A and B are shown apart, each in its own frame.
Chain A
Amino acid sequence: MTDEQILTQMQAIKDEEANLHPLVDNSVDLVELEKEYQNGSAAFQNKIRNLSETHDRMRRSRGDGNCFYRAFAFAWFERVMLAKNKPELHMNAVKAMEESKDLLLAAQFELLAFEDFYLVTLETLQNLVHYTPEELLAAFQNDEISNSIVMHFRLMVSAYLKTHQEDYAPFLEFGQTMDEFCSMHVEAMGRESEEMMLIALTKVTHVSVEVAYLSGNENVDEVNFLPFLPDTEPYMPPLVLLYRPGHYDILYRKSHCLEGVV
């Protein structure tokens, strides 16, 4: 096989993978997560059983390296859309998004290079007041809209880290500058995220997140929840993300009583 053929075949495998999983999927009962591990270790099974006492649904985000940003954006936008009786959620979200433009400019990003992603993201957010749950899902399954939102979220994280270097530079590898770190790990599509990106995104959006860490650790039966808090008082209950090594999905907490999730 020539290199060209190998590349074509690799692309075909990727496309096939992509066709199997939408960028953001319909939500499913947590039983589906249990099924994934029915032949797996008792540690996973016990944790999922415990998790399902407080959480009842999950939503998968495609494992393309952008899963964290896409899951965060969808979970946030869905929360705003479902709370039509609480217009302050929408106002706060639009305000945070509008402020992100100044943050990106302050971080020396060129308006020309980011405004298309910004405008698509802002427009989607503004449209939430009349979106149905199906329309929001369709928007996040559309490559151009969904990837533009992911890109804007990446740039918000990068801009936050660059404008708060004194706080975050100590976490970088020796000799690496924040600009290098961001261009390598944040600004390029498909680069996986780590905790620093999560912290930055909660600060920029003023949205709190709890991450449920599902691991095969035999010593504990409970899923470990780690909260990430913005600097301001959270104006809605935290988004809940499910983390399995290398991948993020969305979780639905029973006590949040979200109605109309598709």
Chain B
Amino acid sequence: MAKPMFARRLSKELNDLAMNPPAGIDIIDANDFKVWRLGLAGAPGTLYEGEKFQLEFNFGPNYPLESPQVLFVGDNVPIHPHIYSNGHICLDVLYNHWSPVQTVASICLSLQSMLSSCTSKERPPDNAAYIKTARANPKHTTWAFHDDTV
């Protein structure tokens, strides 16, 4: 057990992402085991078709026992009822429903499916208030997950 667990796991994940990239997902930057940037393309036939987004993953030394910090970055943050304009994402598996069986790829796919099932492009109703008070790390927000249908 020469390498710490997070490094072993992330090198396998990186290898797998490079060998079998899920449709619409590509690695932009993964030069260390701290911060990765991935590109996410809006799926064809959805409200986000043709759009490109960027996701940032921050991994702590306890990954995958603890969830990574995941947010949208760059100048195009998807307009979606569960995504705040500062890039924070309201999705339970990123916080209190995290399980170490999730991977970077499975999170990307969950986010893609969250976008794909969206029927109306709008910000969360409390967006203005939230981004004024939210801290940089979305894991420090107390999330209330009330609607998983959109």
Q: Please indicate which of the listed interface residues A109, A112, A117, A187 has the most CB atoms of chain B within 10 Å of its own CB.
A: A112
Known: A147-B65, A188-B98. A112 touches B8 (CB 8 A): no
Query: Could you tell me the distance between the alpha carbons of A113 and B100 in the complex, rounded to whole angstroms?
Result: 7
Within 8 A of B (CB), among A177-197: 183-184, 187-189
Q: Are A116 and B65 in touch, CB under 8 angstroms?
A: no
Known: A3-B135, A188-B97. A113 touches B5 (CB 8 A): no
Q: Are A148 and B97 in touch, CB under 8 angstroms?
A: no
Q: Interface majority SS on A: helix, strand, loop or mixed?
A: helix
Known: A3-B135, A3-B140, A4-B135. A144 touches B4 (CB 8 A): yes
> Which residues of A lie under 8 Å from residue B12 when comparing CB positions?
112
Within 8 A of A (CB), among B51-87: 64-65
In the complex, whether B113 has a CB less than 8 A from a CB of chain A is no
Known: A144-B4, A189-B65. A114 touches B140 (CB 8 A): no
**Size bracket, chain B contacts:** 20 to 34
> Which residues of B lie under 8 Å from residue A116 when comparing CB positions?
5, 8-9
Within 8 A of B (CB), among A158-191: 183-184, 187-189
> Given A144-B5, A183-B97, 19 more contacts at CB 8 Å?
A3-B135, A4-B135, A4-B140, A7-B140, A110-B103, A112-B12, A112-B16, A112-B103, A113-B64, A114-B101, A117-B100, A120-B1, A147-B65, A151-B100, A155-B101, A184-B97, A188-B97, A188-B99, A189-B65
- The 10 A-B pairs of least Cβ separation, nearest first, read A187-B99, A113-B101, A188-B99, A113-B103, A112-B12, A147-B65, A144-B5, A116-B9, A151-B100, A112-B16
A-B contacts, 22 of them at CB < 8 A, read A3-B140, A4-B140, A7-B140, A109-B101, A110-B101, A112-B103, A113-B100, A113-B101, A113-B103, A113-B106, A114-B101, A116-B9, A144-B1, A144-B4, A144-B5, A151-B65, A155-B101, A183-B93, A183-B97, A183-B99, A187-B100, A187-B101
